[in-house]
Amino acid sequence: MKILVAGAAGQLGSLLPEALSGHRVEAIGRDRLDVADLASVRGAVRSARPQLVVNAAAWNRVDDAETDREGAFRGNALGPRNLAIATAEAGIPLLHVSTDYVFDGRAGRPYHEYDAPCPLSVYGQSKLAGERAVRELNPRHFVVRTAWLYAAGRPNFPSTMISLGRRGPVRVVDDQVGSPTYAPHLAEAIARLVATGAFGTWHMAGTGQTSWCGLTRRLFERMGLASEVTAVTTDEFPRPAPRPACSALVSIQDPTITLPPWEQGVDEFCRAVA
């Protein structure tokens, strides 16, 4: 199958060509494709003539979205909308990657695919708008929600914590819970998903749940860092964008596409960066 990947320079997009190596993959970044430009998207789909498009492009600056609403919606809502239009016109499926931040975290338990979204932040609102556009405009879609995504060699929470931990003690929020997801595991799961043709909404995140503090402690243990990790509350570490207290994800879909435990992802990440 010929697959076009948008967002090739990102944490996930850069890994998809290898994960999808059984297919012919053309991966393009923002320098060649602005997903917020419908003419550009239509041109890319006509030129590549793919049988599937994967959208790994996103506007991920969660806090900045609170003051740049237009930027967030251009990247996270208009971009998916344009890809949905172009793929529907071409008669091909679209796989779109979304986020756990479409939930408000008030359920007090992990969210499955049929729970109702209710985002707290502008970022979450923009991602939910993108999901809805994909569902409305191309019935042959996969919407893949993931959470707390990270990969080796990229700026992300684990990389930042390791850098800080090498310099001394750290204080980390312990009352926000989610499902840390190692990007190579997600890329491999997406490759399995596209082979099924099982369209719809999917939750794909590291199995299990922990807090940012719990994630940091696992990282430090595996990296051999002795720096103290002090648990703090969200109120002690205020950010511009509100975060859900518990946005862990579970799936009630095909169990063969479940990701490994989040702890395994951390261990593999630490081996990759050691």
Contacts of 101 (CB under 8 A, 6+ apart): 62, 119, 120, 121, 123, 124, 127, 243, 244, 247
One of 101, 123, 150, 182 is an active-site residue; which one? 123
DSSP character string of 91-147: T--EEEEEEGGGS-STTSS-B-TTSPP---SHHHHHHHHHHHHHHHH-SSEEEEEE-
CA–CA dist 90, 127 (Å, integer): 24
Q: What is the DSSP letter of 259?
A: P
| Known catalytic membership, residue 123 | yes
CA–CA dist 114, 110 (Å, integer): 12
Query: Mind telling me the catalytic residues?
Result: 123
